[in-house]
Structure 1
Amino acid sequence: MPIKKEKQTSRHSVPPCNSSGIKKIKFGFPSGTLRNQTIKLFEAAGYEVKLEEDLYQIWIDDPEIKCVLSRAQEIAKFVKDGILDAGITESAFIIDQKIDVVEAVKLNYGSKTWRNGKIVIAIPEDSKIRLVKDLKGKKILARVPELTKNYLKKHKITAEVEYTDRPGEPKIPALGDALVEFTNTGAALFAHGLKILDTLIETSPTLIVNKKVWADKDKREKIENLGVLLMGARVAQEYVGLMLHASNDMMETVFKILPALKKPTVTHLRGENWFDILTVAHKKEIRNLIPKLKEIGCTDIVEFPLNKVIL
């Protein structure tokens, strides 16, 4: 679904006034590389999102939530300090900054895909560094400096670590020997002639909440409900629904090969020896599953997309 961009401000761009009595939740919406995928997630969860790039503002059609577009790294600190009530940041920033917040939901997606990103150490393709121990005495530019220092300490390596903001890839090798950076597909690293030496941790966009806000019953309920919708939309990216007809003689074989989050729903077709079966399957399984079902005689096989899967 295309992202809606407003070129001019308008009163109609802003959601209507909150009539529920709940004080608006100030929500940190990540900018930068996470922005577009987060917009897709909110839209899949049922929200209309309006982005006004020129004014660096974003809205969703919920009068109880006021979105503030900000860097994920800043969101972690703003939520901790109570400037924001809640927001989405990278779990790596929570660790790096030792942020004391409630981690409500790990949403498990990256900047361009529906899978987690990683924090990696990258070096130039022609670097003489071959092993992690070769980082000794080198200069390392890092998006997450404290996490990097802990990694080096674990490996008993002494090196110079300097913080860098995005984009970090063009700065190597001119300003440093190695780079600690976020990556999802590795494409940006490879495009700048870098290769991955090692992975520090996996990182996930995470819905975080200020601790005092979490103690507020109304706000907590609102944020928890948002988390349920976002996670349901996220899980649905990996699954599809499947409907089919099978005769009584086929049922035992069908049940053996059908994967499901829970047992399939089975409905007897009136006046016939056939059954309607409804189930959910992982997208990666469906291409092998449908031919097997067809082979054993199942008919009217229909695959359909899912909007949300609430586990």
Structure 2
Amino acid sequence: MSTLKIAIQKSGRLNEDSLKLLRDCGISISNENDQLKTEATNFPLEVLFLRNADIPQYLLDGVVDIAIVGSNLLIEKGPQIPILEKLGFSKCRVSVAVPKNFTYASLSDLRNLRIATSYPETVKAYFETQEIPIALHEISGSVEIAPNIGLADAIVDIVSTGSTLFKNNLKEVAVILKSEAVLAVSPAIPEQQKKLLERFRFRVQSVLKAGKLKYVLMNVPDEKIQAISEILPVLKSPTIVPLNQNGWSSVQSVIDEAQFWEVIDKLKEIGAEGILVCPIEKMVV
């Protein structure tokens, strides 16, 4: 029986979020002994725990079929690798930062200065498009210390909360790109693996869709049911159950979280009462 091979980061926040996604997809794996490779017990999936920076090459070489990886890393090391899904977690940005005492007005203030980074291709391409020449210093790890030791005048690095920059007396001045975890597929994935990939992707899509929706139940006067139904467009139609109290019904539906409060306000204005909101674990359509 064929097995789908997936790469995820072997440690760190992306590792934790990736394992949670697999669990939410109903896939059980064990990594209690910090193995570098393990198999799911209830789905034909083999998991490889790899250094984050190595994952794009594993995809390009066809060693793994898919991977959960930051989109910033694909831009740097594998721009030709297809992205199947944006996963919405591990969000960050690749930003330019300078010492706090650096007088910064615009990107042109960095002209001909030394910039340290672990993302040389991304930085080079960005500054070329801005037509600003720089002296690029490629380093791996602890990029934020470079200005403090005289190695560089500025840096380009991943920024999440900004606390690391603050601790190293740096300030963020420009965002090159925004990144999040994505599901990427190897350009060399074998044809026989594609059916397994679609099964896995369907589970991922169900989890992602559920995360953007809320299940709502409310009590509604019967004469208001039509008006309520018109502002609950996510499903084909709401579920309507008559209540024991004459002239009232329970209306159940799904609403988009992005429009949550706007919809709730409208429901209350029309006459909905006792509105109950519940999270959705999966959404299969």
TM-score w.r.t. length of structure 1: 0.79
1:260 offset after TM fit, Å?
4.1
In the alignment, structure 1 residue 233 sits paired with structure 2 residue 212: no
Identical columns (%): 20
> Please, which of 169, 182, 187 is the counterpart of residue 158 of structure 2?
182
The answer to whether 1:269 aligns with 2:242 is yes
Match of 2:120 among 145, 148, 173: 145
Please name the residue that 1:211 is paired with.
187
C-alpha contact (below 8 Å) 1:101/1:210 kept by paired residues: yes
Kept in 2, the 8 Å contact 1:80–1:99? The answer is: no
Alignment CA distance shift 1:268-1:55 (3 Å): closer
Distance 2:42 2:53 in 1: 25
Cα distance, 1:148 vs. partner? 0.6
Paired residue total? 282
**In the alignment, is residue 27 of structure 1 matched against residue 6 of structure 2?**
yes
Q: Counterpart of 2:31 in 1: which secondary structure?
A: strand
Mean CA deviation greater in 243-252 or 133-142: 243-252
Q: In structure 1, how many angstroms separate the alpha carbons of the residues matched to 2:284 and 2:98?
A: 41
Query: Do the aligned partners of 2:115 and 2:136 also contact (CA within 8 Å) in 1?
Result: yes
Runs of 4+ in structure 1 displaced over 4 angstroms?
A: 53-59, 287-292
Check whether the contact 1:264–1:278 (CA below 8 A) recurs between aligned residues: no
CA distance in structure 2 between the partners assigned to 1:172 and 1:223 by the alignment: 45
Q: Distance in 2 between matches of 1:66 and 1:80?
A: 18
In the alignment, which of 220, 229, 251 is matched to residue 246 of structure 1?
Answer: 220
- Cα 1:191–1:61 shift into 2, 3 Å: farther
What RMSD in Å do the two structures reach over aligned CA positions?
2.8
1:158 aligns with 2:133: yes
- Cα-to-partner distance string for 1:74-102 (whole Å, 9 max, x where unaligned): 11111101122221222222222244333
> What does 1:97-108 align with in structure 2 at a 5 Å threshold?
97-108=77-88
Shift in CA distance, 292/105, structure 1 to aligned 2, threshold 3 Å: closer
Distance 1:39 1:98, change over 3 A: closer
Distance 2:99 2:226 in 1: 57
Q: Which residue is equivalent to 2:58?
A: 78
Question: Which residue of 37, 40, 47 corresponds with 2:17?
Answer: 37
1:85-134: per-residue Cα shift (whole Å, max 9, x none)?
Answer: 22122222222224433322222321xxxxx3221112222223432111
Structure 1 segment 3-152 matched on structure 2, within 5 A:
21-22=1-2, 24-31=3-10, 32-52=12-32, 54-56=34-36, 60-110=40-90, 116-152=91-127
Unmatched 5+ stretches in structure 2: none
* Gap change, CA 1:225 and 1:178, over 3 Å in 2: farther
Distance verdict in 2 for CA 1:310–1:139, change over 3 Å: farther
Distance in structure 1 (CA, Å) of the matches to 2:267 and 2:241: 18
Q: Which sections of structure 1, spanning at least 5 residues, go unmatched? A: 1-20, 111-115
- CA distance in structure 1 between the aligned counterparts of 2:238 and 2:123, rounded to whole angstroms: 49
Tell me, in whole angstroms, the C-alpha distance in 1 between the residues paired with 2:163 and 2:36.
27
Residues 270 and 134 (structure 1), Cα distance of their counterparts in 2 relative to 1, 3 Å cut: closer
Note if contact 1:138-1:160 (Cα within 8 Å) is conserved in structure 2.
yes
| More off after superposition, 69-78 vs 91-100 | 91-100
User: Structure 1 stretch 137-146 or stretch 171-180: which is displaced more?
Assistant: 171-180
Quote how far apart the aligned CAs of 1:145 are: 0.9
Residue identity matched to 1:302: L
State the match for 2:253 in structure 1: 279
Contact 1:73/1:89, CA 8 A, preserved across alignment: no
Distance 2:88 2:117 in 1: 23
- 1:45-92 deviation line (CA, Å, top 9, x unaligned): 222343336555565434521111113321111110112222122222
SS in 2 for 1:190: helix
- Report the secondary structure of 1:51's partner residue: coil
Q: What is the distance in 2 between the residues matched to 1:94 and 1:238?
A: 25
Give 1:152 deviation, angstroms: 0.6
Distance 2:158 2:217 in 1: 40
Secondary structure, counterpart of 2:101 in structure 1: coil
Question: CA 1:146–1:184 in 2, change beyond 3 Å: closer, same or farther?
Answer: same
CA distance in 1, matches of 2:177, 2:274: 45
Summarize the Cα distance change of 1:141–1:260 in structure 2 as closer, same or farther, 3 Å threshold: farther
